[in-house]
């Protein structure tokens, strides 16, 4: 079936490439690592890389005799791996899920452990790793209600795949029940909580926030981050509402996908004029006339959150399912979101229970909420402090996962396999 769909697959991944990198990696044609002890982590894209970063760091630090290899599906994920770890890891694009390609990649890596982040469940990859006697761990695993119903249509195929997974660290009890219903033995399931709660705010992030805040000056600042098509217009409409009360207010706008940076810049210029828009990638100055600062770079989102007072997290006003609410929360920034939160319902619920997130429905309610929060600094600070408290109270998944993965790595090198 996958071979039959290959023209569509190649069309989808053709743009997910980096200069100087061969597309043959998509067929598993990578350097031979069979002379090394390899630990393999697969994280689909930027979000999964950021989520898995503490675990990848632990694998590097705890296993100096091993080479950590990270694979991603997207080019932006690859860039994030390079930014976080540089030469400390090897990166390749994951082989497409053709039987021969996945077998080739597994054979050439010959890993002692495969760690799959979230729910990157590719049947041929998992079969190839299991047939090669590679222990497989699934971390930060989740299945949404919609995904569960989709998997149930192919329950026999899914069960045949899940039975080959040695251990799954799931985000919630509900996720555990869904994996069990699909065929993963209960004794291989651990409810570890969400790994995203173990997000660390490093010195570089805080330094960037301080530098940006100094450049901006004493103005009301809010950020609309990880936005999708339709959400930028909503953010601009809400910003106009805020500026009617606070004319000096600044919006930091960060689209989710880099291929949309120029289009979003064009939208802002069309609505506000070129003099009102500054771009991070151009190193434009933030002047008194600047109304929107476009964060059109990769790897700096946390630093941009750090200089804002209120954060709207995108993918929540459109049917995407939401992006990482915990990044602004960990910085003590007041968190706003729309209602589309299927991808992170347990995190959204934890914030809501602690009165640490405000849910808005559209551009008008976003604008009204911004005015309320900037009118009431005490409420804004309370909201941010409550969000940070939720992050601190739910840490712990990293240690549990770290300890279990260490136990899965053999003490002695594996017998070399062909």
Residues designated as active site: 48
- Rounded CA separation 94/137 (Å): 17
Question: How many Cβ atoms from other residues are within 10 Å of residue 311's Cβ?
Answer: 27
Residue 222 in tokens:
């809010």
- The one-character DSSP state at 187 is G
Contact 276/249 with Cβ under 8 angstroms? no
Contact 239/272 with Cβ under 8 angstroms? no
Calculated CA dihedral for residues 248, 254, 255, 261, nearest 10 degrees: 80
- Rounded CA separation 334/386 (Å): 9
- Rounded CA separation 315/317 (Å): 6
- Rounded CA separation 205/201 (Å): 6
Tally helices (H) and strands (E) across the chain: 17, 14
Task: List 310's β-bridge partners, or say none.
Answer: 222, 334
């Amino acid at each position: 079936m996958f071979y039959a769909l290959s023209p569509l697959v190649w069309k989808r991944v053709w743009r997910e490439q980096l200069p100087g990198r061969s597309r043959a990696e998509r067929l598993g044609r990578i350097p031979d690592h069979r002379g090394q002890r390899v630990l393999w982590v697969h994280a689909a894209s930027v979000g999964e890389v950021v989520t898995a970063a503490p675990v990848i760091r632990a694998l590097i630090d705890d296993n100096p005799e091993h080479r950590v290899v990270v694979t991603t599906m997207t080019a932006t994920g690859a860039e994030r791996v390079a930014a976080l770890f540089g030469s400390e890891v090897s990166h390749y694009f994951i082989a497409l899920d053709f039987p021969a390609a996945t077998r080739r990649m597994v054979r050439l890596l010959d890993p002692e452990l495969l760690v799959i982040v979230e729910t990157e469940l590719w049947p041929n990859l998992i079969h190839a790793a299991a047939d090669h006697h590679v222990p497989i761990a699934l971390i930060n695993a989740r299945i949404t209600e919609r995904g569960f119903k989709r998997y149930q249509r192919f329950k026999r195929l899914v069960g045949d795949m899940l039975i080959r997974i040695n251990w799954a660290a799931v985000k919630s009890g509900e996720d555990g029940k869904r994996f069990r219903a699909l065929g993963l033995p209960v004794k291989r399931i651990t409810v570890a909580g969400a790994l995203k709660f173990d997000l660390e705010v490093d010195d570089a992030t805080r330094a960037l926030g301080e530098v940006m805040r100094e450049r901006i000056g004493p103005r009301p600042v809010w950020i609309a981050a990880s936005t999708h098509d339709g959400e930028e217009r909503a953010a601009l409409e809400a910003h106009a509402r805020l500026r009617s009360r606070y004319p000096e207010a600044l919006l930091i706008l960060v689209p989710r996908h880099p291929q949309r940076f120029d289009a979003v810049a064009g939208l802002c210029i069309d609505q506000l004029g070129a003099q009102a828009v500054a771009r991070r990638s151009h190193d434009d100055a933030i002047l008194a006339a600047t109304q929107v600062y476009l964060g059109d770079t990769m790897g700096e989102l946390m630093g941009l959150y750090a200089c804002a007072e209120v954060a709207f997290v995108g993918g929540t006003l459109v049917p995407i399912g939401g992006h990482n609410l915990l990044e602004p929360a960990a910085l003590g920034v007041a968190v706003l979101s729309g209602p589309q939160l299927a991808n992170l319902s347990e995190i959204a619920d934890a914030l809501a229970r602690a009165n640490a997130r405000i849910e808005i429905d559209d551009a008008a309610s976003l604008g009204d909420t911004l005015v309320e929060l900037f009118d009431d600094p005490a409420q804004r600070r309370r909201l941010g402090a409550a969000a940070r408290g939720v992050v601190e109270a739910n840490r712990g998944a990293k240690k549990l996962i770290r300890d279990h993965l260490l136990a899965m790595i053999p003490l002695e090198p594996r017998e070399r396999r062909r």
